[in-house]
Amino acid sequence: MDNFKRLLPPLSSLVPFEAAARLESFSKASEELHLTQAAISKQIRSLEEFLGVALFIRRNRAVFLTAAGVEFRDAVRTAFLGIASRAEDLKKGRDNSEVILVAQLCEAFYWLIPNIPLLHKKYPDIEVRLNASTQPITETAEKFDIAIQTSGRAFGDHTALFTLSDEVFPVCSPRYLASFATQPPSLEDLADLPLLHHVAVPQDWSTWSDWLSEFRIKTGEPKGKFFDSYPVMMQACVEGFGFALGWRRTSEKMLVSGELVRPFSESVHLPEALSVYKWRDTNLSPPARQLLDWLKSSFSD
């Protein structure tokens, strides 16, 4: 491959091809690249002649990728993304030891930040930049290395790497539980109590109705207090506002400290609760791979 240049197609044809393949339109590609449609067509025809295969099926004013076109589109896109990613790093002068980790606000606040010192102890040269977000990673404009979010959330064309389990169970403050001194509530009682609810749009988190239905407990119209922020809801729970659904990874520290208690032994195990992604098809840096190894080895239970 030392003389790889002779194996490459005309480089001037790759950008028009990528645009036409992505947009499935020569006219839209011409608008995007500020070239004439004839120029786009000529460049793609030159590319097809070089490769000896048809990349598009042309029908009237519409074009469709052939099977070979789909394969070549993916190869060109991967190469372009790799070049763009490295160019961005060079422009920003990014430290090679830095890893950008995107996580949902609750996981970042309650789970990752308390455990990052353990990562640094094992890999002291890694510099983690933790970006917390309430939006799915499809809304993340800045490039990341690794992202963690609830498995049900949209992830677009980012690459899923592996999943992490979790479990969900009711929690409350010791003070709130003590308010039921005469008769501690049963699991069935929860369906009729004012509860603390985390509301997401779309609702890609477990709800009280979901959780109680696992134990064949029917619920009516949800009542209680509603929060669009999981950390705010959990703080309200700590302050004694009521019962909340606690995720093990995010409530564990508060349970250990005694801020919260588990009034019931029942829990719902979610084997694929969280998903870990990398940015599209880019290659991971050695520090990013170390972060992944740490996540797998430390939190795979």
What's the confidence (pLDDT) of residue 241? 95
Coil vs helix vs strand at 200: coil
Dihedral angle, C-alpha 248, 209, 223, 257, nearest 10 °: -10
Residues 137 and 182 in one domain: no
User: Cα–Cα distance between 284 and 162 in angstroms, integer?
Assistant: 15
Residues 155 and 173 in one domain: no
Residues 82 and 112 in one domain: no
- Taking all residues of the chain, what is their mean pLDDT, rounded to a whole number? 88
Residues 150 and 199 in one domain: no
Coil vs helix vs strand at 10: coil
Residues 282 and 256 in one domain: no
Report which of 239, 202, 245, 238 is spatially closest to residue 222, judged by C-alpha positions: 245
Please count the residues of the chain.
301
Domain count, the chain: 3
Residues 84 and 232 in one domain: no
Strand partners, 172: 261
User: Cα–Cα distance between 141 and 196 in angstroms, integer?
Assistant: 32
Residues 149 and 77 in one domain: no
Q: Is the pLDDT of residue 231 over 80?
A: yes
pLDDT tens, position by position, 22-77: 888 898 888 888 889 999 999 999 999 999 999 999 887 788 899 898 889 888 88
Residues 180 and 223 in one domain: yes
Report which of 295, 145, 175, 298 is spatially closest to residue 241, judged by C-alpha positions: 175
User: Cα–Cα distance between 106 and 109 in angstroms, integer?
Assistant: 5
Residues 202 and 75 in one domain: no
Handedness of CA 94, 95, 97, 100 (dihedral sign): negative
Indicate the residue among 50, 65, 92 that finishes a domain: 92
Indicate the residue among 92, 116, 137 that finishes a domain: 92
Range of the domain at 73: 4-92
Residues 107 and 148 in one domain: yes
pLDDT tens, position by position, 239-281: 999 999 999 999 999 999 999 999 999 999 999 999 999 998 8
pLDDT tens, position by position, 187-230: 999 998 989 999 887 777 789 999 999 999 988 888 899 998 88
Tell me the CATH number at 277. 3.40.190.10
User: Cα–Cα distance between 112 and 108 in angstroms, integer?
Assistant: 5
Report which of 273, 284, 277, 226 is spatially closest to residue 111, judged by C-alpha positions: 273
